[in-house]
């Protein structure tokens, strides 16, 4: 962390010790990564999180003492953590506004408390502690550099006298790992940035000048440089600013805002402080965000510029394209000069390159010596064809005239389809980020294999058929799994040649080419290059070949390439899904006993490769539908009956992906696939077990499927697989399947027989979040049964469940709150939850931004309040807790409203608490919800109103807020629970005469009379009591009239 902050963090020019972090994208990336590290530290490294820093991290915070809840001793201006060191000193101490933190556990909790302001807190902490590693580990670490290895750290610590040497060593290594991660991550971030240079900046300014002047139709009134002097490198900024990457400064006068003083730099364009009044000097300090270019900046700052620019957009774009065409010859000349550099200068260039990397933040204006032929799909909307022909076409025509015509066709197809692909792919949900296209450095110290591959590719380009086959065989002798070899083929134009060979009539050349493409297409960059070069449509066509070896190789290569969305789209658009499904039809004419011999034939291998390709393609919803419509499910079901594991893994993998859709789940039941999934759970192959469990997890949303899993004996192998915790991916799949199967009570009984509950409790600690989410979900379902609640309590499961309440994973919080709520039904468990401060933690989750977490926490609070010994006092002890609950009635989420109404029902049983929530305005908020059609909300709302009537003039207030008439309509619902709750609410409201009149006017009497005969005793009594009150009022009115 120290090295990353020293090398990469961008500080203001105020000087060391007093400067602040600039508001730059790079700094934001650094801070966010540090926050993620701190947030997860308490879960990933619970023991190391307790390590006490040598010196506290101290800074000025914007947090108020009221933000701190459980685990802290809070006063008006100070906060102390209950966690203390061996001397009894708190590990977190806040004395507004100064805060001191001395452990990662407290840092993690502080980040959680800070919520939306955590980025500002992290910035303040880093600014006040410029070398945090020294504060954490001691002054010996002030000299820590990039070369510090784990062994060096170990030596430093073990040579000291501290008692906590082992823990200190672990923390030091974790910090070193963070340092390396920050360096690598920010480097990849920097490489993604598009940097400006003086030439396009100058041309943009000249273009804007030509569109500026007096008149309403011009885009600007004026745009001028602040300096007329231009340096040889094209910059106009002073040399001491050029080293900071600044190019020039311009004064822009839009039509509708004041004059803007703008800095154009390699980072982008931003507003500076303008010219000073005294000496006319520029205040270079950045005053806002960084924009990618001048036009984007001005569109954001001036509405008039944006409006006029939209009218001139076509003309402006044409002028920009002309400039780009003019620049093309210059680029070719520059490339020729770079290529002409002699080998004797290589070592010098390597040194320059190293220096360039180290100082890339300040020396970006130096020319790069890297040869790049990157195809940027994002820019193809305006210049796709031109860029392709400029970067690839010309060179290939010179080097290999014999295949230039086919190559040009591929390029045209690729460019013409690019815009189409982008617009189509945006409709699918699962977008995959495309990584930056890395090229080998022209002056890097490359291995000898790189140059040998170059020579072989030349033979591929210019040789006859025999030479081509020999070159292909020679290429296969290299280690094609090595990234250097993969990129070497790509960098010297080998990919284009290999793809062109697929379009020939020579089978041997096709096989050789596909074998190489199959190996190198595991590389994500190569995958995207193959798609860019139009390779996938050719491979899809090969699937129709009569040669089975060609079909296999093409399908396997498609399986490798179709790892991202655009590739999957291309396969579908060219009819690839239907062709791949047809490859599965290998056993149509084979009888069951002859299956063993069938697997030795080439047909089986074709089917396996087809299943592999479908597995990759099935990650897209549209492809899943295409597979189903092509008749893929019956064929997959038939292949699932085999014992050939290499076949089973892709088949089950495809089914697992597709089972997320309801149509597929119905078809899976119809084809009796569950039986075979259960059978394969007993396989020795861990990967097959994982995919079978995952498929069951997806399918077990349906009750019938859950019953089938039980009937076919699938619960026992699932329970036994819980004991194997080494393979975390398989464990996550198995726990997920158990969770979904546990929704059925019959399955829960079986899991109890197989001792699965005890094993699940043991998995509540030291497991990844994916496993914890499923374990808590399974326990939440199992603990609906009393016997299982007892098992969880006796196995010590309450404490780890409560500990998980401090997490941030939304799915985990939903499941763990449900599990705790289920356990709280048992009074003995409730005592433990209360002792561990679990109720306070549940209450704090009502502030969570996610509605599902809020609702789940509120549901869990209901049994806690019901079964706590002194529930009323416990609820009042939470500062601001009752106001928080009442304010949640303003939510738009029906589940949140239902759960909060249920919580208010339990809170209102205590008279003092009822008085408090009445003062907070619970009556008008409940009345506002009365006009709902949701039966679940109706039931809990009616119960809340019934209990809230017990205080003061709340009955009258409900009538005044028009809550009575909507309640009468609830009696027409088909839900008996709604009838009972509504009748009880109406009974309480009928104590007020005006409410009785409203009920009578809205036809309540007739509806209540029908319910007096209900078999539900509570409903009978409430309905009869309400009718009685209405009748008494009528008699009293009649009596008064005669008197």
* Structure confidence at residue 102 as a pLDDT band (50, 70, 90): very high
Q: Tens digit of pLDDT for each residue in 1002-1036?
A: 888 888 888 887 788 888 888 888 888 888 776 76
Contact in structure between 829 and 789 (CB atoms under 8 Å): yes
CA-based nearest residue to 585, from 637, 538, 542: 637
Contact in structure between 941 and 929 (CB atoms under 8 Å): yes
* Structure confidence at residue 194 as a pLDDT band (50, 70, 90): low
Taking residues 532-545, report their average pLDDT.
88
Bond prior to 688 in cis (omega within 30° of 0): no
Taking residues 531-551, report their average pLDDT.
87
Does pTM top 0.75 for this prediction?
Answer: no
Contact in structure between 406 and 400 (CB atoms under 8 Å): no
Query: How many other β-carbons are positioned within 10 Å of the β-carbon of residue 159?
Result: 9
Q: Which of 10-14, 267-271, 360-364, 560-564 has the lowest mean pLDDT?
A: 360-364
CA-based nearest residue to 556, from 613, 616, 499: 613
The pLDDT mean for the chain works out to 78
pLDDT for 9 beyond 70: no
CA-based nearest residue to 272, from 308, 306, 244: 244
Query: How many other β-carbons are positioned within 10 Å of the β-carbon of residue 302?
Result: 21
Helix-, strand-, coil-residue percentages of the chain, each rounded to 5? 65, 5, 30
The CA distance from 670 to 712, in Å, is 15
Choose the most confident range, by mean pLDDT, from 169-173, 220-224, 487-491. Answer: 220-224
The CA distance from 521 to 209, in Å, is 48
pLDDT for 947 beyond 50: yes
**Three-state SS for 251?**
strand
**Three-state SS for 159?**
coil
The helix or strand, by DSSP H or E, that contains position 222, with its residue range, turns out to be strand 222-225
**Three-state SS for 231?**
coil
Q: Which of 59-68, 316-325, 523-532 has the lowest mean pLDDT?
A: 316-325
CA-based nearest residue to 623, from 569, 662, 581, 663: 569
Cβ-in-10-Å burial (0-12, 13-18, 19+) of 342 comes to exposed
The strands making up 98-103's β-sheet, listed across from edge to edge, are: 52-60, 98-103, 92-95, 78-81, 72-74
The secondary structure of residue 888, as a DSSP letter, is: G
Contact in structure between 385 and 415 (CB atoms under 8 Å): yes
pLDDT for 786 beyond 90: no
Q: Which of 21-25, 903-907, 1021-1025 has the lowest mean pLDDT?
A: 21-25
The secondary structure of residue 229, as a DSSP letter, is: -
* Structure confidence at residue 278 as a pLDDT band (50, 70, 90): low
Chain center to CA of 779:
26
- Half-sphere exposure of 81 toward its Cβ, with a 13 Å CA cutoff? 22
**Three-state SS for 600?**
coil
Contact in structure between 656 and 694 (CB atoms under 8 Å): yes
Q: Tens digit of pLDDT for each residue in 68-93?
A: 888 888 888 899 998 898 888 999 99
CA-based nearest residue to 735, from 745, 744, 746, 723: 723
pLDDT of amino acid 508: 84
- Determine phi and psi for 410, rounding to 5 degrees: -60, -45
The CA distance from 662 to 936, in Å, is 25
Cβ partners under 8 Å of residue 679, min gap 6:
712
Provide the sign of the torsion angle of the four alpha carbons 277, 282, 287, 289, taken in this order: positive
CA-based nearest residue to 357, from 484, 443, 447, 291: 443
- Half-sphere exposure of 938 toward its Cβ, with a 13 Å CA cutoff? 23
Taking residues 525-534, report their average pLDDT.
88
pLDDT for 326 beyond 70: no
The CA distance from 959 to 1004, in Å, is 15
CA-based nearest residue to 925, from 952, 967, 963: 963
Angle at 1019 between CA 1015 and CA 1024, to 5 degrees: 105
Exposure string for 963-989, b = 16+ CB within 10 A, e = fewer: bbbbbbbbbeeeeebbbbbbbbbbbbb
pLDDT for 664 beyond 90: no
Cβ partners under 8 Å of residue 690, min gap 6:
727, 729, 730, 733, 734
Chain center to CA of 622:
22
pLDDT of amino acid 178: 85
Taking residues 904-924, report their average pLDDT.
88
pLDDT of amino acid 141: 61
pLDDT of amino acid 329: 42
The CA distance from 300 to 293, in Å, is 11
pLDDT of amino acid 462: 67
CA-based nearest residue to 652, from 604, 614, 688: 688
Contact in structure between 743 and 700 (CB atoms under 8 Å): yes
- Half-sphere exposure of 286 toward its Cβ, with a 13 Å CA cutoff? 23
């Amino acid at each position: 962390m120290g090295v990353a902050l020293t090398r990469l963090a961008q500080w203001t020019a105020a000087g060391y010790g007093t400067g602040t972090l600039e508001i730059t994208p790079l700094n934001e990336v650094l801070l966010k990564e540090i926050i993620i590290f701190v947030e997860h530290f308490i879960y990933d490294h619970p023991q190391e999180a307790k390590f006490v820093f040598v010196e506290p991290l101290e800074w000025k915070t914007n947090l108020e003492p009221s933000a701190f809840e459980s685990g802290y001793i809070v006063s008006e201006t100070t906060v102390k953590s209950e966690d203390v060191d061996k001397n009894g000193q708190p590990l977190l101490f806040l004395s507004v506004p100064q805060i001191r933190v001395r452990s990662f556990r407290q840092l993690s909790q502080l980040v959680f408390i800070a919520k939306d302001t955590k980025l500002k807190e992290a910035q303040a902490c880093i600014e006040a502690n410029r070398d945090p590693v020294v504060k954490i580990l001691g002054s010996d670490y002030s000299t820590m550099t990039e070369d510090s290895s784990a062994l060096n750290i170990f030596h430093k610590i073990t040579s000291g006298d501290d008692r906590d040497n082992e823990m200190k060593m672990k923390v030091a290594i974790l910090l070193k790992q963070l340092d390396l991660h920050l360096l690598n991550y920010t480097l990849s971030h920097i490489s993604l940035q598009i940097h400006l240079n003086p030439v396009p900046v100058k041309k943009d300014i000249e273009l804007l000048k030509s569109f500026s002047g007096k008149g309403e139709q011009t885009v600007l009134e004026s745009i001028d440089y602040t300096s007329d002097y231009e340096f040889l490198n094209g910059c106009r900024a002073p040399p001491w600013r050029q080293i900071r990457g600044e190019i020039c400064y311009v004064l822009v006068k839009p039509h509708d805002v004041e004059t803007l003083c703008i800095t154009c730099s390699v980072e982008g364009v931003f507003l500076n402080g303008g010219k000073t009044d005294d000496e006319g000097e520029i205040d270079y300090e950045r005053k806002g965000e960084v924009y990618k270019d001048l036009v984007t900046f001005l569109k954001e700052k001036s509405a008039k510029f944006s409006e006029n620019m939209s009218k001139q957009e076509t003309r402006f774009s044409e002028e920009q394209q002309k400039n780009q065409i003019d620049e093309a010859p210059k680029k070719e000349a520059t490339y020729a000069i770079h290529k002409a550099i002699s080998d004797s200068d290589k070592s010098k260039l390597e040194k320059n390159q190293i220096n360039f990397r180290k100082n890339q933040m300040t020396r970006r204006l130096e020319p790069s010596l890297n040869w790049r032929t990157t195809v940027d799909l994002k820019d193809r909307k305006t210049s796709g064809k031109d860029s392709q022909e400029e970067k690839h076409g010309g060179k290939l025509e010179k080097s290999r005239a014999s295949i230039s015509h086919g190559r040009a066709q591929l390029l045209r197809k690729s460019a013409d389809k690019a815009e189409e692909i982008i617009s189509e792919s945006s409709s699918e949900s699962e977008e995959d980020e495309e990584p930056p296209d890395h090229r080998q450095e022209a002056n890097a110290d490359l291995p000898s294999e790189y140059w040998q591959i170059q020579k072989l590719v030349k033979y591929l380009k210019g040789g006859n058929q025999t030479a081509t086959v020999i070159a292909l065989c020679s290429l296969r002798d290299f280690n094609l799994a090595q990234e250097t070899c993969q990129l070497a083929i790509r960098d010297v134009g080998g990919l284009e040649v290999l793809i062109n060979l697929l379009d020939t009539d020579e089978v041997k050349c096709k096989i050789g080419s596909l074998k190489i493409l199959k190996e190198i297409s595991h590389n994500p960059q190569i995958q995207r290059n193959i798609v860019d070069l139009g390779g996938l449509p050719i491979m899809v066509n090969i699937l129709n070949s009569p040669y089975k070896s060609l079909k296999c190789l093409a399908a396997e290569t498609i399986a490798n390439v179709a790892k991202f969305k655009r590739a999957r789209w291309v396969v579908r658009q060219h009819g690839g899904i239907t062709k791949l499904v047809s490859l599965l039809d290998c056993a149509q004419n084979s009888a069951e006993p002859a299956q063993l011999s069938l697997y030795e034939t080439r047909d089986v291998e074709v089917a396996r490769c087809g299943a592999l390709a479908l597995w990759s393609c099935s990650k897209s919803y549209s492809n899943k539908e295409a597979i189903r419509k092509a008749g893929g499910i019956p064929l997959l079901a038939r292949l699932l009956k085999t014992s050939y594991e290499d076949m089973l893994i892709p088949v089950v993998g495809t089914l697992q992906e597709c089972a997320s859709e309801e149509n597929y789940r119905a078809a899976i039941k119809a084809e009796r696939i569950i039986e075979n999934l259960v059978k394969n759970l007993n396989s020795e192959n861990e990967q097959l077990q994982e995919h079978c469990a995952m498929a069951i997890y997806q399918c077990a949303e349906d009750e019938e499927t859950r019953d089938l899993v039980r009937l076919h004996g699938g619960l026992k192998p699932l329970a036994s697989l819980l004991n194997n915790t080494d393979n975390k991916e398989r464990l996550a799949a198995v726990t997920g399947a158990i969770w979904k199967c546990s929704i059925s009570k019959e399955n829960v009984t079986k899991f109890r027989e197989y001792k699965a509950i005890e094993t699940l409790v043991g998995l509540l600690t030291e497991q990844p979040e994916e496993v914890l989410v499923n374990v808590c979900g399974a326990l939440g379902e199992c603990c609906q049964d009393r016997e299982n609640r007892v098992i969880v309590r006796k196995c010590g499961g309450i404490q780890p469940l409560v500990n998980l309440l401090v997490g941030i994973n939304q799915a985990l919080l939903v499941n763990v709150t449900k599990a705790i709520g289920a356990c709280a039904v048992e009074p003995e468990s409730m005592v433990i939850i209360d002792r561990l401060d679990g109720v306070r933690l549940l209450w704090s989750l009502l502030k969570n931004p996610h509605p599902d977490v809020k609702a789940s926490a509120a549901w869990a609070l209901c049994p806690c309040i019901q079964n706590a010994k002194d529930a009323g006092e416990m609820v009042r002890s939470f500062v601001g807790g009752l106001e928080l609950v009442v304010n949640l009635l303003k939510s738009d989420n029906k589940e949140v409203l239902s759960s909060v109404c249920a919580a208010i029902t339990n809170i209102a049983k205590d008279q003092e608490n009822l008085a408090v929530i009445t003062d907070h305005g619970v009556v008008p908020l409940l009345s506002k919800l009365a006009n709902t059609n949701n039966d679940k909300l109706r039931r809990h709302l009616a119960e809340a109103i019934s209990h809230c009537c017990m205080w003061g003039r709340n009955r009258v207030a409900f009538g005044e807020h028009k809550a009575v008439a909507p309640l009468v309509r609830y009696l027409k619902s088909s839900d008996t629970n709604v009838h009972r709750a509504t009748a009880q609410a109406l009974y309480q409201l009928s104590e007020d005469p005006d409410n009785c009149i409203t009920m009578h006017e809205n036809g309540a009497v007739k509806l209540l009379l029908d319910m007096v005969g209900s078999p539900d005793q509570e409903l009978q009594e409430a309905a009869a009591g309400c009718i009685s009150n209405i009748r008494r009022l009528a008699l009293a009115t009649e009596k008064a009239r005669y008197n």
